[in-house]
């Protein structure tokens, strides 16, 4: 203690105190600056940004939920056009109902948001369900929940234009139903039972520190599904508390998402106490860090003192014979050096020498500190139809020339499977004693897939002596025949190279019959049929059949795959165009199924003539039905003449009369009459009004009603705008 007091308060140690305080003050400023910076940052993170983070989490959950409903709307669109469901309505046979039910199940399985799809024929009251048992009694649907039935009154929701969320609940069970819009316009209906378990999983995933509960609620405040939903129950009974970002009490806040479909909302309970606890933990950890840094700081100060003060102290004691307590070391050194320099040259030399020695010592220290010199195979075909942009399909043709060891193609396939990414990425297309062909689905984001395969095939050649030809790649399984053809064509160059890639030698190969899929020709055919250009449609079909004839002469399985795919696509294009024109399916159903059987099941080379004739019959049926359904100008004029006096008469009435869309009748009217429907109708009404004004004594109000205008002022204004006269002035002027 005596030595400490002497060291601290002794006047001769003023230099030591100055050095220590200077380092201590600098370090303290850094420590406290770090402390307040951390505190400010924590406050910003935990108290300013967490509410926004909560809102973003709710928005993310809502976005996922709305995306799920959007996906269901897409499924709804596909199901309304699904041929299996259409056939089940028109064919009262168990087979078609089975196919329709199977299709419902496929769509239900494909979307995790869907628990059950329920399809009901409103005319026959028949019901198909992909999951839960559903029946109908007294006009209401009874949905079996596992222990009893919940009643669902579908008719109460049929008139809605947009999709609706409906929550059914009793003492023991609850269901969330999604009903897409426009159900009331058809003779059938589809509704979807939503998987509340999937909703709960989504909300549970977004639970984080501070958010104690997330739930989906109805407009009435009922909880549909959620995570820790019991935490929210005390607040749902008070509507005043259900506002966005409201502070419920000192410890909790409530957040609510933007209102969604049918008034449903996501609610999140935010715990201020949990956040405060996190802040306290963060500060407590900060204190420990600061304490550790303080200890390290003291060590740093002592090290700095040793590096700077101690050499100075030693130098001073050596240079100054009698230390002055009221002077610092620097001052005393300066005085001593000045005195020495003035006394004699020898002392100056010594000082210079010592100075040089110190410089060398420092340099040596730097160099030393920086010198570190001492220091059984079943292929999964579905994967080839994934159409993922990063997945590339190849065909490899392999043959033995001078095998270095016995080659078993299954072992070759297994080697490819093990070497390539993904599971079941390879399939054997063909094999015999001397050759084989493999189909490869190469997954992954790397760009040089062909180079990787070539290196792999080269290694296999070195090991087994099997020559290999690699095709180009595609993402479409429809191009597999073309890939196979290209691999075979590339194999013709094996005498020049034992492992070869088709893109490398494509330019040197003679032209061959192409099996590239005719996407453009099929699109052209669809375009011609959509505008009822039957002559060009026949020409396009002839070109496609000619392409098929050439492909069929290859004489192996892959052109057959190509032929059947193209035939089915031609048939599909024709039928889809007929459906778009509202031609009744029963008109051509027998012919369609007959043609479908020929295209799908019969050898093309044997049945090519029959297939072409059947397609021509379908096209002729299409053309005949289109001509029979043609809307003639005289018919339109007659309908307008009979209905112009009706205030409710409009273009939609005309469209309903001919069973076509409003867009089509508007286009047709403009084409046939060279003016819009509304202008033409007004012209008819105006001429009739002029006739009544000049030839009768009927009042203006009576005449207005007689030409379809209930609002007389509107008729007067339009009449004057057109003629320049009011109806009364027109009658008096005798202008007609």
The secondary structure of 376-430, three-state, reads CCCCCHHHHHCCCCCCEEEEEEEEECCCCCCCCHHHHHHHHHHHCCCCCCEEEEE
pLDDT tens, position by position, 422-431: 776 787 777 7
Q: Which residues contact 190 (CB under 8 A, 6 or more apart)?
A: 76, 79, 80, 117, 118, 119, 120, 180, 183
Tell me, what DSSP letter sits at residue 10? -
Q: Give whichever of 241-255, 395-409, 603-617 has the largest mean pLDDT.
A: 603-617
pLDDT: which is higher, 365 or 67: 67
Residue in 451, 455, 420 with CA at minimum distance from that of residue 438? 420
Q: State the pLDDT confidence band at 220, using cuts at 50, 70 and 90.
A: confident
Other CB atoms within 10 A of residue 353 CB: 10
Alpha carbons 132 and 118: distance in angstroms, whole number: 9
The structure tokens listed for 725 are 């006269």
Tell me, what DSSP letter sits at residue 510? P
The structure tokens listed for 408 are 């078993």
Q: Which helix (H) or strand (E) holds 344?
A: none
Sheet of 499-501: strand order equals 426-431, 435-442, 392-400, 466-470, 499-501
What is residue 326's predicted lDDT score, i.e. its pLDDT?
62
Q: State the pLDDT confidence band at 321, using cuts at 50, 70 and 90.
A: low
pLDDT tens, position by position, 104-163: 898 888 888 899 999 888 777 788 888 888 888 888 889 988 888 888 888 888 777 788
pLDDT at 357 over 70: no
Environment class of 520 (CB within 10 Å of its CB; exposed 0-12, middle 13-18, buried 19+): exposed
What is residue 734's predicted lDDT score, i.e. its pLDDT?
56
CATH number of 381-508: 3.30.70
pLDDT tens, position by position, 37-80: 665 666 556 656 667 777 788 888 888 888 888 888 888 888 88
Helix then strand then coil, in percent of the chain rounded to 5, is 60, 15, 25
Question: Long-range pairs for 32-37 at CB < 8 Å and ≥24 separation?
Answer: 34/290, 34/293, 35/286, 35/290
User: Do the strands 211-217 and 265-271 form a parallel or antiparallel pair, or are they unpaired?
Assistant: antiparallel
Other CB atoms within 10 A of residue 1 CB: 5
DSSP string, 438-456: EEEEE-SS-S-HHHHHHHH
Of the listed ranges 130-134, 263-267, 430-434, 518-522, the least confidently predicted one is 430-434
- Residues pairing with 256 in the sheet: 267
pLDDT at 344 over 50: no
The structure tokens listed for 208 are 């984080």
What is residue 536's predicted lDDT score, i.e. its pLDDT?
92
Task: Answer for the pair 162, 261: CB distance below 8 angstroms, yes or no.
Answer: yes
pLDDT tens, position by position, 588-637: 888 888 888 888 778 888 888 999 999 999 999 888 877 766 677 788 88
Other CB atoms within 10 A of residue 439 CB: 23
Domains in the chain: boundaries: 13-316, 320-365, 381-508, 519-628, 633-733
CATH number of 633-733: 1.10.10.60
DSSP string, 200-256: HHHHHHT--TTEEEEEEE-TTS-EEEEESGGGTHHHHT-GGG-STTEE-SSSEEEEE
What is residue 648's predicted lDDT score, i.e. its pLDDT?
87
What is residue 117's predicted lDDT score, i.e. its pLDDT?
92
Q: Which helix (H) or strand (E) holds 190?
A: strand 188-194
What is residue 584's predicted lDDT score, i.e. its pLDDT?
72
Averaged pLDDT, 2-28: 60
DSSP string, 624-664: HHHHHTPPPHHHHHHHHHHHTT-TT--HHHHHHHHT--HHH
What is residue 539's predicted lDDT score, i.e. its pLDDT?
93
Other CB atoms within 10 A of residue 713 CB: 9
- 3-state SS assignment for residue 24: helix
Q: State the pLDDT confidence band at 182, using cuts at 50, 70 and 90.
A: low
pLDDT at 726 over 80: yes
Of the listed ranges 135-149, 173-187, 434-448, the least confidently predicted one is 173-187
Alpha carbons 676 and 37: distance in angstroms, whole number: 72
What is residue 116's predicted lDDT score, i.e. its pLDDT?
92
Residue in 374, 388, 372 with CA at minimum distance from that of residue 421? 388
Percent of the chain with pLDDT over 90: 6
Q: Report the length, in residues, of the chain.
A: 736
Residue with tokens 């505008």: 531
Rounded to two decimals, the pTM is 0.37
Environment class of 695 (CB within 10 Å of its CB; exposed 0-12, middle 13-18, buried 19+): exposed
Residue with tokens 């778009």: 580
- 3-state SS assignment for residue 63: helix
What is residue 687's predicted lDDT score, i.e. its pLDDT?
92
Q: Quick one: how far is CA 645 from the chain centroid?
A: 52
Task: Answer for the pair 229, 245: CB distance below 8 angstroms, yes or no.
Answer: no
- 3-state SS assignment for residue 563: helix
pLDDT at 305 over 70: no
Q: State the pLDDT confidence band at 15, using cuts at 50, 70 and 90.
A: low
Tell me, what DSSP letter sits at residue 259? P
Task: Answer for the pair 101, 167: CB distance below 8 angstroms, yes or no.
Answer: no
Alpha carbons 377 and 428: distance in angstroms, whole number: 10
Of the listed ranges 99-108, 166-175, 605-614, 654-663, the least confidently predicted one is 654-663
Alpha carbons 649 and 176: distance in angstroms, whole number: 41
What is residue 1's predicted lDDT score, i.e. its pLDDT?
42
Alpha carbons 621 and 584: distance in angstroms, whole number: 11
What is residue 604's predicted lDDT score, i.e. its pLDDT?
81
What is residue 610's predicted lDDT score, i.e. its pLDDT?
92
pLDDT at 363 over 50: no
What is residue 338's predicted lDDT score, i.e. its pLDDT?
62
Cα end-to-end distance, the chain, whole Å:
128
Question: Between 83-90 and 94-110, two packed helices, what is the crossing angle to 10 degrees?
Answer: 150
Alpha carbons 638 and 642: distance in angstroms, whole number: 6
What is residue 442's predicted lDDT score, i.e. its pLDDT?
86
Percent of the chain with pLDDT over 70: 73
What is residue 736's predicted lDDT score, i.e. its pLDDT?
43
Averaged pLDDT, 468-491: 83
What is residue 542's predicted lDDT score, i.e. its pLDDT?
92
pLDDT: which is higher, 116 or 558: 116
Rounded to a whole number of angstroms, the CA Rg of the chain reads 44
pLDDT at 29 over 90: no
Q: Quick one: how far is CA 175 from the chain centroid?
A: 27
Which CA distances in Å does 509 have to 471, 490, 493, 520?
A: 13, 8, 9, 25
Alpha carbons 519 and 179: distance in angstroms, whole number: 37
Left if phi > 0, otherwise alpha if psi is -120 to 50, otherwise beta: which for 166?
beta
Other CB atoms within 10 A of residue 387 CB: 11
Mean of the per-residue pLDDT values of the chain: 77
Averaged pLDDT, 265-290: 69
What is residue 20's predicted lDDT score, i.e. its pLDDT?
67
Tell me, what DSSP letter sits at residue 581? T
Alpha carbons 129 and 361: distance in angstroms, whole number: 91
Of the listed ranges 29-33, 212-216, 425-429, 468-472, the least confidently predicted one is 29-33
Averaged pLDDT, 353-375: 36
pLDDT at 298 over 80: no
Tell me, what DSSP letter sits at residue 474? B
The structure tokens listed for 281 are 């933990």
Phi, psi (degrees; rounded to nearest 5) at 44: -65, -40
What is residue 493's predicted lDDT score, i.e. its pLDDT?
87
């Amino acid at each position: 203690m005596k030595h400490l007091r002497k060291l601290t308060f002794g006047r001769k140690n003023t230099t030591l105190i100055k050095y220590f305080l200077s380092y201590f003050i600098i370090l303290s400023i850094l420590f406290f600056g770090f402390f307040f910076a951390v505190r400010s940052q924590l406050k910003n993170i935990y108290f300013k940004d967490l509410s926004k983070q909560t809102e973003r989490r709710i928005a993310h959950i809502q976005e996922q939920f709305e995306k799920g409903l959007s996906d269901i709307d897409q499924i709804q669109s596909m199901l309304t056009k699904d041929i299996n469901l259409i056939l089940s309505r028109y064919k009262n046979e168990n087979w078609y109902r089975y196919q329709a039910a199977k299709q419902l199940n496929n769509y239900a399985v494909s979307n995790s948001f869907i628990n059950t799809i329920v399809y009901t024929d409103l005319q026959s009251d028949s019901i198909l369900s992909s999951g839960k048992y559903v029946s109908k009694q007294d006009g209401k649907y009874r949905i079996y929940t596992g222990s009893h039935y919940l009643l669902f009154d579908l008719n109460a929701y049929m008139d809605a234009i947009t999709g609706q969320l409906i929550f059914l609940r009793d003492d023991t069970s609850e269901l969330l139903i999604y009903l897409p819009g426009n159900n009331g316009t058809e003779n059938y209906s589809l509704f979807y039972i939503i998987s509340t378990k999937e909703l709960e999983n989504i909300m549970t995933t977004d639970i984080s520190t501070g958010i104690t509960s997330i739930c989906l609620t109805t407009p009435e405040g009922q909880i549909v599904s959620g995570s820790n939903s019991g935490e929210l129950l005390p607040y749902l009974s008070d509507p005043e508390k259900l506002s966005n970002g409201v502070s419920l009490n000192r410890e909790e806040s409530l957040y609510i998402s933007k209102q969604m479909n049918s008034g449903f909302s996501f609610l999140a309970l935010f715990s201020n106490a949990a956040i405060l606890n996190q802040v306290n933990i963060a500060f407590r950890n900060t204190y420990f860090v600061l304490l550790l840094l303080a200890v390290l700081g003291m060590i740093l100060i002592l090290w700095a003192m040793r590096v700077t003060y101690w050499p100075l102290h030693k130098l001073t004691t050596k240079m100054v014979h009698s230390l002055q307590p009221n002077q610092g070391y620097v001052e005393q050194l300066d005085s001593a050096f000045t005195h020495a320099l003035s006394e004699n040259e020898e002392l100056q030399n010594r000082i210079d020498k010592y100075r040089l020695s110190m410089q060398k010592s420092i340099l040596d220290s730097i160099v030393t500190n920086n010198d570190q010199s001492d220091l059984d195979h079943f292929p999964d075909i579905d994967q080839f139809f994934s159409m993922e942009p990063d997945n590339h399909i190849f065909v490899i043709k392999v043959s033995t020339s001078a095998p270095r060891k016995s080659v078993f193609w299954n072992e070759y396939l297994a080697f490819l499977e093990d070497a390539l990414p993904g599971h079941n990425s390879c399939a054997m297309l063909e094999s015999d004693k001397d050759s084989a062909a493999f189909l490869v689905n190469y997954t992954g984001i790397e760009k040089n897939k062909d180079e990787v395969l070539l290196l792999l095939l080269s290694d296999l050649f070195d090991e087994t002596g099997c020559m290999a030809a690699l095709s180009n790649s595609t993402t479409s399984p429809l191009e597999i025949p073309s890939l196979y053809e290209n691999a075979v064509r590339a194999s013709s160059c094996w005498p020049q190279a034992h492992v070869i890639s088709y893109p490398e030698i494509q330019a040197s190969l003679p032209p061959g019959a192409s099996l590239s899929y005719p996407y453009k020709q099929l699109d052209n055919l669809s375009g011609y049929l959509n505008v009822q250009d039957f002559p060009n449609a026949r020409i396009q079909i002839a070109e496609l059949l000619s392409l098929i004839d050439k492909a069929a002469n290859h004489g192996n399985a892959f052109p057959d795959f190509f032929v059947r795919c193209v035939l089915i696509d031609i048939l599909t294009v024709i039928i889809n165009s007929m459906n778009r024109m509202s031609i009744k399916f029963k008109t051509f159903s027998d012919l369609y199924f007959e043609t479908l059987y020929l295209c799908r099941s019969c050898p093309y080379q044997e049945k090519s003539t029959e297939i072409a004739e059947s397609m021509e019959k379908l096209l002729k049926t299409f053309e005949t039905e289109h001509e029979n359904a043609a809307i003639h100008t005289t018919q339109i004029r007659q309908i307008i003449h009979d209905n112009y006096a009706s205030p409710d008469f409009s273009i939609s009435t005309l469209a309903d009369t001919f069973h076509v869309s409003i867009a089509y009748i508007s286009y047709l009217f403009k084409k046939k009459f060279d003016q819009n429907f509304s202008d033409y109708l007004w012209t008819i009404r105006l001429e009739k009004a002029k006739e009544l004004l000049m030839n009768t004594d009927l009042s203006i109000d009576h005449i207005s009603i007689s030409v379809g205008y209930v609002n007389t002022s509107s008729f007067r204004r339009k009449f004057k705008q057109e003629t320049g006269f009011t109806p009364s002035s027109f009658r008096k002027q005798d202008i007609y």
